[in-house]
Amino acid sequence: MTLHPTWLEPVERLVDAGGMVLVVLAGVAVLVFSMAVERFWFYRLSWRPARRQLVRYWAARRDHQSWSARTLRDVWADALIARLGRPLPWLKLLVALCPLLGLLGTVTGMISVFDSLALSDTGQARAMADGVARATLPTLTGMAIAVVGLLFISRLEHVIRREEQRLHDRLAQALENRELALQAREEKDA
């Protein structure tokens, strides 16, 4: 009979398979993928309304040509783009840690393999092969998480560059639309 809850069984299997470092890697993977999901929902639900609101604020201003107006437009745009890329430094840090954590798991696993071989006084090739396979599992896991994380980082950076260009295009288009509307109104009044 076990004294621990059944929901801990997967964690126990992780520790048995690759050591405590594999559990840490699983936690890092959860963080990376939860940040990815959060950025997806931020982009879908919050980004577009915020971009539209900024374009409306810019179009509603009277002054668009002065240095201070252009600086204000750039500050507004940069702040909005920064919101889109806010988790990027953390994602890069976590992705860079994954291979290092995997290597740590491999080294600690190999140390335990050599310790167990030294204590048993037998040169069992099967036990050593099993231990080496178990020790290299964290490296494989760390590399796999890092590769998927790098794909997400690359995609997020691409989206940020694209959305920055779209934002500047929309700000310029809003200004042109306003000027055309003013010209049409002047021609109608004349």
- Tell me how far apart the alpha carbons of residues 152 and 148 are, in angstroms, rounded to a whole number: 6
Residue 155 predicted with pLDDT over 90: yes
pLDDT at residue 81 in the model: 94
Residues in CB range of 59: below 8 A, 6 or more apart? 174, 175, 177, 178
Domains: count for the chain: 1
Residue 2 predicted with pLDDT over 60: no
Q: What is the pLDDT of residues 54-98, one digit of tens each?
A: 998 988 888 888 899 889 999 999 999 999 999 999 999 999 999
Residue 3 predicted with pLDDT over 70: no
Tokens of 31: 């963080």
Residue 154 predicted with pLDDT over 80: yes
Q: What mean pLDDT comes out for the span 126-130? A: 71
Whether residue 32 is contained in a domain is answered as: yes
Scan for tokens 């004349």, then name that residue: 190
- Tell me how far apart the alpha carbons of residues 126 and 132 are, in angstroms, rounded to a whole number: 10
- Percent of all residues in the chain with a pLDDT value above 90, rounded to a whole number: 46
- Tell me how far apart the alpha carbons of residues 96 and 107 are, in angstroms, rounded to a whole number: 18
pLDDT at residue 30 in the model: 95
Q: What mean pLDDT comes out for the span 144-165? A: 95
Residue 125 predicted with pLDDT over 70: no
Per the confidence metrics, is the pTM higher than 0.75? Answer: yes
pLDDT at residue 136 in the model: 86
Q: What mean pLDDT comes out for the span 16-20? A: 76
Q: What mean pLDDT comes out for the span 172-185? A: 79
pLDDT at residue 1 in the model: 45
Whether residue 178 is contained in a domain is answered as: no
Whether residue 61 is contained in a domain is answered as: no
pLDDT at residue 111 in the model: 83
Range of the domain at 144: 19-40+88-157
Scan for tokens 């050593």, then name that residue: 128
User: Rounded to whole angstroms, what are the CA distances from 118 to 70, 108, 129, 132?
Assistant: 72, 15, 15, 15
Whether residue 189 is contained in a domain is answered as: no
- Tell me how far apart the alpha carbons of residues 106 and 114 are, in angstroms, rounded to a whole number: 12
